[in-house]
A and B are shown apart, each in its own frame.
Chain A
Amino acid sequence: MPIHEEHLIRPENLKTHENLVIDGIDVSGHWSTFIESRVLTNYNEQMEEEIAALPGGEFIHRCWQCGSCTNSCTVNAVNPEFNPRYWIYLIRTGMESELLRDKDIIWQCVSCNKCTYACPRDVAPEGVMKATAHWLELKGHTPKSPSTHFDEVFSEQVIQTGKIEEGRIIRSFFARTKQELMQDWLVEMVKRLVSKLPVTMLMRMGLANVLRPRTKNWGAARDAITEYVDEQNAAHRKALKLDDLVEMAKSEVKPGQAPAE
């Protein structure tokens, strides 16, 4: 059975009636359990095009559904619900409601590139996973994932200074995702490390924290990258018609009623 038909037998679609008579026939009780019939009408015909407009999603149309991606997938091996082949199928057939059932795990792709290595059609499924996760966030289906927060913290530092400093990345990431910095295992790791290091080296590490490493004369590159990234973000918003959605939401606010903050 194709996976998308599985939901016909999901618990919420099984109906057992205590007292039901249809055309004079008693269909009560467990022996007369029904499976609700289903007619799909809510196809999202734009979904594939929108995901293809985001970086990484460009080649989704090439997919032949051979399953090499899922077969080779690192995350699938530890969580069978993580199924790139199936998601590509849902996106291409417009079955948005089915895709949304898995919306909270799609971001977990670890970019190991085993799928891209295995794919006979150069779909670059790793890119499609990133584009899909990005699409879910832009459309408001999911909040920003921890991975997106990490990408943003990291990229902002690179674009600003040309380089990164790991300590600063870790602190900014924990702050942005509202996590405790003093994780038991991080503390243990630092303890094991520090016990062996000479004082001069610890001073050097401390200094790197204060004097941020940076690429000299980076300003012009920073401005050129920022200008390009802003243009791309505007193009993505346009492709996903996000500004139209905002306008629609505004027009639905009744006169005299304060828009929800």
Chain B
Amino acid sequence: MSSKAKEYKKVAYYPGCALEGTGHAYNRSTKELGKALGLELDEVKNWNCCGAMEVKNIDPKVQTYLSSRVMSIAANEMGHDVVMAPCNGCYHNLKKAEYDLKNDDASKQVVERISKKAGHQTYESGQVETIHALDWIKDGIGEEGLKERVKSSLKDLKIANYYGCMYTRPRHIFPEKDQGEGSDSTSEPHFMDDLLAAAGAENVDFPLKTACCGGAHTLSDSDTSTLLVSNILEAAESAGAEVIATECPTCHSGLEMHQVRAEKRFGRKTNVKIVYFTQLLGMALGLSAKKVGVHENISDSRALLKEKGIA
């Protein structure tokens, strides 16, 4: 068992804005998965938005402040030393804030100034460790732990694992990655592959794991996003995938939206289904499709999952 297993038994949970909107199915499946695995989530009290991909273009230091406030509440008001963020955007921004507060005095000064005026304790770098939902399961339970608990194997389900941009780039804000065995790789991430394989799935060789879906411009430059998404969907299909597993609400809704848009506007139709990895793991543990919110996805995978005997 991983040395982190004990530490991840109870963590601060930062769902973020998307998980209260388009990513609702990710939120509910993450919580259900935690319950099924005996991992406790303690939601960060009165959290705020991390700034996503947008606030940094107005001012990057404001984005650093927004993330620091979330970490400050988790550490100083709730006494946590681990914050788990299932959204790649939130995860990335908290990691980036951690890096900047450790290495850039100007960022530190701005965060101090705004925190003081806002009336809360300033976050100090090192107070919490930010982890992704993938780290949470991988290190909190592990593949062996998952295998023991599988009730409805994902066997025969061919999956392309899609990680997107923010989980691995840029490298310097993820000092724990690329550290050999037990750590994830920034060029070829594999934590999601490992977990789904432990649940019985057949992972296909998918070259566009960390390609970009154009999420930042999903509405402001829709044609570019549709083109990028179509490339991802078609590559997954030609790799033989029936399902694309996702671990980010922005990637997930981007793939779903532009799958429809590509069909409507450009006649590029694909049939590959898009499912959150937490939904797949939840079903493998015996939770119903409804419980993990499969019906909330736009991409309708219910018939496929039924046919495979998973849902």
Interface residues of A (CB under 8 A from B): 55-56, 74-75, 78, 108, 110-114, 116-117, 124, 127, 130, 134, 145-152, 154-155, 158-159, 162-167, 170, 173-174, 177, 184-185, 188-189, 192-193, 196-197, 201, 208, 213, 215-218, 220-221, 223-225, 227-229, 232
> What is the CB-to-nearest-CB distance from B305 to chain A, in angstroms, rounded to a whole number?
14
Would you call B7 an interface residue if the criterion is a C-beta within 8 Å of the partner chain's C-beta atoms? no
Apart from A197-B295, A228-B113, what are 6 other A-B pairs with CB-CB below 8 Å? A55-B56, A74-B214, A117-B169, A152-B58, A173-B220, A185-B264
Contacts of A196 in B (CB 8 A): 295-296, 300
Of all chain B residues, the one with the shortest Cβ separation from A73 is B212
Find chain B residues with CB under 8 A from A151 CB: 54-55, 57-58
Residues of A within 8 A of B166 (CB): 113
**Complex A-B: 16 CB contacts under 8 Å:** A55-B60, A56-B60, A78-B227, A108-B224, A117-B171, A130-B57, A151-B55, A154-B54, A155-B57, A164-B49, A197-B296, A213-B20, A217-B119, A221-B69, A221-B114, A228-B110
Q: Is B62 an interface residue (CB 8 A)?
A: yes
Q: Is the CB of A111 within 8 A of B53?
A: yes
Min C-beta distance of A185 to chain B, whole Å: 4
Query: With A154-B54, A165-B21, A229-B58 given, is the CB distance from A149 to B224 under 8 Å?
Result: no
Chain B residue numbers with a CB within 8 Å of A227 are: 117
Indicate the member of A55, A155, A173 with the most B CB atoms within 10 Å. A155
What's the minimum C-beta distance from B173 to chain A, rounded to whole angstroms?
10
User: In the complex, how many angstroms separate the beta carbon of A142 from the nearest chain B beta carbon?
Assistant: 14
- Asked whether A163 and B117 contact (CB < 8 A) given A74-B228, A150-B219, A229-B62, the answer is no
Chain A residues with Cβ below 8 Å from B62 are: 155, 159, 225, 228-229
Q: Are A116 and B118 interface neighbours, CB within 8 A? A: no
Please give the distance in Å from A141's CB to the nearest CB on chain B.
18
As a 0/1 sequence over residues 43 to 87 of chain B, the CB contacts with chain A under 8 angstroms (1 = contact) are 000111101111111111110011001000000000000000000
Question: What A residues does B215 contact at CB under 8 A?
Answer: 110
Contact of B186 with A by CB under 8 A: yes
B261 at the interface (CB under 8 A from A): yes
Is B310 at the interface (CB under 8 A from chain A)? no
Q: Are B219 and A166 neighbours in the complex by a CB distance under 8 Å?
A: no
Is the Cβ of B295 less than 8 Å from the Cβ of A110?
Answer: no
Expressed in whole angstroms, the Cα–Cα distance for A130 and B264 within the complex equals: 31
Q: Is B156 an interface residue (CB 8 A)?
A: no
Shortest distance from the beta carbon of B38 to any chain A beta carbon, whole Å: 27
Q: Which of A130, A177, A215 contacts B48 (CB 8 A)?
A: A215
Q: Is B126 an interface residue (CB 8 A)?
A: no
For B53, what are the chain A residues with a Cβ–Cβ distance below 8 Å? 111
CB distance from B227 to the nearest CB of A (A): 6
Once the chains bind, are B224 and A78 in contact (CB under 8 Å)? Answer: yes
| Residue among A56, A149, A192, A229 making CB contact with B298, cutoff 8 Å | A192
Residues of chain B in range 1-44 having any CB-CB distance to chain A below 8 Å: 17-18, 20-22
Name B109-123 residues within 8 Å CB distance of A: 110, 113-114, 117-119
A56 to chain B, nearest CB (A): 7
- Chain A residue contacts of B298, Cβ below 8 A: 189, 192-193
Establish whether residues B260 and A185, one from each chain, have CB atoms under 8 Å apart when the complex forms: yes
- B169 to A114, Cβ gap below 8 A? yes
Given contacts A110-B224, A163-B17, contact A74 B212 (CB under 8 A): yes
CB distance from B59 to the nearest CB of A (A): 6
B184 at the interface (CB under 8 A from A): no
- Within 8 Å CB of A78, what residues of B? 224, 227-228
Does B165 count as interface, using CB distance less than 8 angstroms?
yes
A173 to B22 Cα, complex, angstroms = 17
Question: What residues of chain B lie closer than 8 Å to A208, measured between beta carbons?
Answer: 20-21
In the assembled complex, the Cα of A163 lies from the Cα of B48 at a distance in Å of 5
| Also in contact, A116 and B169, with CB within 8 A (given A110-B212, A111-B216, A192-B300) | yes
Q: Report if A223-B117 is in contact (Cβ < 8 Å); known contacts: A158-B48, A196-B296.
A: yes
Contact with A along B94-134 (1 / 0, CB 8 A): 00000000000000001001100111000000000000000
Q: Give the contacting residue for A220; candidates B119, B211, B295; CB below 8 A.
A: B119
**Chain A residues closer than 8 Å to B21, beta-carbon distance:** 165-167, 208
> Distance (Å) between the CB of A232 and the closest chain B CB?
6
In the assembly, what is the distance between CA of A127 and CA of B214, in Å?
Answer: 16
> Is B150 engaged at the interface, CB distance under 8 Å to the other chain?
no
Is B55 touching A110 in the complex (CB atoms < 8 A)?
no
Instruction: Return the CB mask of B159-190 against A: 1 if under 8 Å, else 0.
Output: 00000011011110000000000000010000
- Most chain B CB neighbours (cut-off 10 Å) among A148, A154, A213: A154
Residues in chain B near residue A174, CB distance under 8 A: 219
B17 with A225: CB separation less than 8 A: no
CB contact under 8 A between A114 and B212, given known A108-B224, A185-B261, A220-B118: yes
